[in-house]
Every structure is written in structure tokens, then in C-alpha cells.
Amino acid sequence: MKTHLYAKGMGTLRLSFVILIVIIAAGILTPRTGFSQNAKSAGGDSTRVKQNVDVKPTTYPKVVGYLSFILPIVTIDENSTTTNFSKGTFSIGFPVGVNVLYSDKFGFSYEFTPTIKSSGGTSKMSNLLFDPGTMFRFEHGFTIITRLAFETSGRYGFTPVFNKVYLHTRDVNYFVALSTPARFGNGLPASVGLNVQFGFIFN
């Protein structure tokens, strides 16, 4: 009976993850299509099309919000190496936040991440992470974020994040990020992990 419940719970969580992927993929395609149609509808004049496509200069400071999801890949401490699907568990986080951009080179990010964990045929919100950090912005949409980390689980530490915007649209920019969380405290061994994150930033 427990095996059946576990399989059912894991199946539901995996289905939810697939739905999330489909929604994000649809979002990537739809704005891009709409943007190209707007440019085409401007007429045959290449100057007019270019004016529609050009992005207005950014004025600072600028505040933008973002939504995303994050998947832990692996966590390593002195006693063990744990992957996201090991020991019959699966976790997914949903980082939401606000970036305050002070220039095209620097900003500050405020992020909250609730995490949902599935184990033993049931799922629950297992942790809430607050991880503010400084943003060092580079060309081609690449950003390094140095975050502090404070978890309701009792753990704390820091998280270097390597972020890349891979698609710009009129309304949102889509990004992918790799992070390497280092955690300490709460009577547990120090650990380091690897996460992958996907999301979009509102323009």
C-alpha cells in the first residue's frame, strides 16, 4: 500500500514538473512570435521595422520582478552524496524576487524560495529560503550574483549564482542559472550543492 501511494505521489509531482516545463516553453515561443509579427506589420520600410525592434535606453535605478523554478541536482557533505531522486525523495523550489538595478553593471537582488518536497507518498512545503545578494552584470546578459542564505530549516550560508539571459522579448527576458549553495549549521555537516534554475524577468 505504501509503495502504491509513493508511486502515485511521485507520479503527480513529475506530472506537475512536466506541466511547468510546457508552460515555460509556450511562454518562450509566444512572445517571440508576437514580437516578430509586430515588426512585420510595420510595413516594408526597413527603417520603420528597425525602430520597432530597437529597445529604449534604460534609466536607473530600475526595479524588476522575476519568477522561476529551481531543481537541486546534487548535494555533497562529509558523509554522503545525495541527488534529487535518491532515497525516494524529490524536491523543487520556486524562487520569486525583485532586482533593484543601479546601473548596467551593478544591482541588488531580494529572493524568496519556497521548496516543495515529495517523499513516502506525500508532499509538503519543507523549507523557505531568503537569499539577498549583490549582482555583478556583464555583457551578453551574463550576471554573477553573490547571495547570502537563511533557511527556515535552520541552515545558513551563501550561494554563488551564474546567470545568463538567453532570450529577450518585449515583455520578459528568459534566463537560466547554475548555483552552488554552501550550507552550515543546525547540527548538520557543512555541505555544497549544485542547482539549475529557469525563469523569466519582467521588463
Query: Which three three-digit cell numbers place residue 128?
Result: 523557505
Segment 54-75 mean pLDDT: 90
Beta-sheet strands, E only, within the chain: 62-77, 81-83, 89-93, 96-101, 106-119, 122-130, 133-137, 142-151, 156-168, 172-179, 182-184, 191-202
Say whether pLDDT at 160 is over 80: yes
Query: Which three three-digit cell numbers place residue 156?
Result: 545558513
Kindly give, in sequence order, each residue whose CB lies less than 8 Å from that of residue 187, ignoring residues fewer than 6 positions away.
none
Each residue's pLDDT tens digit, 70-103: 999 999 999 999 998 877 889 999 999 999 999 9
| 95 exposure class (CB count in 10 Å sphere: 0-12, 13-18, 19+) | buried
Q: Are 60 and 101 in contact (CB under 8 A)?
A: yes
Say which CATH architecture domain 2-202 belongs to.
Answer: Beta Barrel (2.40)
Spatial separation of the C-alpha atoms in residues 174 and 130, rounded to whole Å: 22
pTM score of the predicted model: 0.73
